[in-house]
Amino acid sequence: MLGEGILKGLAETARNFAGSFVSAERLTTVQYPEERIAPIEATRDFPFLLYDGSDWEAGMRCVACQICEKECPPQCIYIEKSKDKKPDALGKPQFYPARFDIDISVCMSCQICVEVCPFEAIKMDTEFELSTTDRFGGLLYDRKELAKSNEHYHKIHPTEAAEVDARLAEEKAKADAKAKAAAAAAAAKAAAPVQAAVQVQPAKPVQPAGDLTAERETKA
């Protein structure tokens, strides 16, 4: 019969229309600014810089190694390395970023900066309501605007943050044990100066900086 197919389709539409009144599953629209859907944990949008403790400048994990700057596909990160060094979380003196800018109007949220960072210093935020009337300065974030605390990281990505903290704690424990062993060795050395003087220490081979500072060669 001509028109049978159309009627079948209309029955389907009617079923969906009526269904949206009784079944919440069929009602998929959310009235956005008033209603919000629950955030998904893995969501990412723009990067932020992580700091430990309460002072963002002292606790900044970034050591200005500039790997993210080189790897960033759209080249939206700008870093200036400091002239002096400051102790980091492990107590080792490290450089810090004298300037760290991200132009989030250029950033494409690919999180490659997060993947290449060896210091767990840059992570992805979930804040998306960033519209501003200032076209240039308003979307160019400096290190102060980018700095967010570890608590904030735990709030937005709890699982991932717990993993990162466990990994860092393990590294710190290793470093502490090493420092302790070194201190013990130094004490032993001081206790037996004659023996130590006799013992010839082989010079430690200088490690090539390797991955951390590997310059990305770009073809001319």
Give me the residues that bind another protein (CB under 8 A), please: 2-6, 8-9, 12-13, 16, 28, 40-44, 67, 71, 73, 108-112, 115-116, 118, 124, 210-212, 214, 216-219
Would you report the helix, strand and coil content of the chain in percent, each value rounded to 5?
Answer: 40, 15, 45
In the complex, least distance from residue 134 CB atom to another protein, rounded to whole angstroms? 25
Q: Using the minimum distance from each CB to another protein, give the nearer residue, 52 or 71.
A: 71
Question: Do the Cβ atoms of 60 and 96 come closer than 8 Å?
Answer: yes
CB of 124 to another protein, least distance (A): 7
Q: How far is the CB of 81 from another protein (least distance, A)?
A: 18
Cβ neighbours for 26, distance < 8 A, ≥ 6 positions apart:
16, 19, 20
- State which residue, 16 or 195, has the beta carbon closest to another protein: 16
- Least Cβ distance, residue 52 to another protein (angstroms): 24
DSSP letters for 13-36: HHHHHHHHHH-GGG-----TTTS-
DSSP-based three-state secondary structure for 96: coil
Complex with another protein: residue 62 or 124, whichever CB lies closer? 124
Residue placing its CB nearer to another protein in the complex, 9 or 91: 9
Whichever of 82 and 111 has its CB closer to another protein, that residue is 111
Give, in order, the Cα–Cα distances in Å from 23 to each of 4, 14, 26, 65. 28, 14, 6, 54
Measured CA to CA in angstroms, residue 209 lies from 120, 199, 206, 214 at distances of 19, 29, 9, 7
**Three-state secondary structure call for residue 73:** coil
C-beta of residue 72 within 8 angstroms of C-beta of residue 218: no
Comparing CB distances to another protein, the nearer of 135 and 216 is 216
* Rounded least distance, CB 82 to another protein, Å: 23
Name the H helices within 31-157. Answer: 56-59, 67-71, 112-116, 143-146, 150-156
CB of 220 to another protein, least distance (A): 11
Pairwise CA distance, residues 49 & 143, whole Å: 7
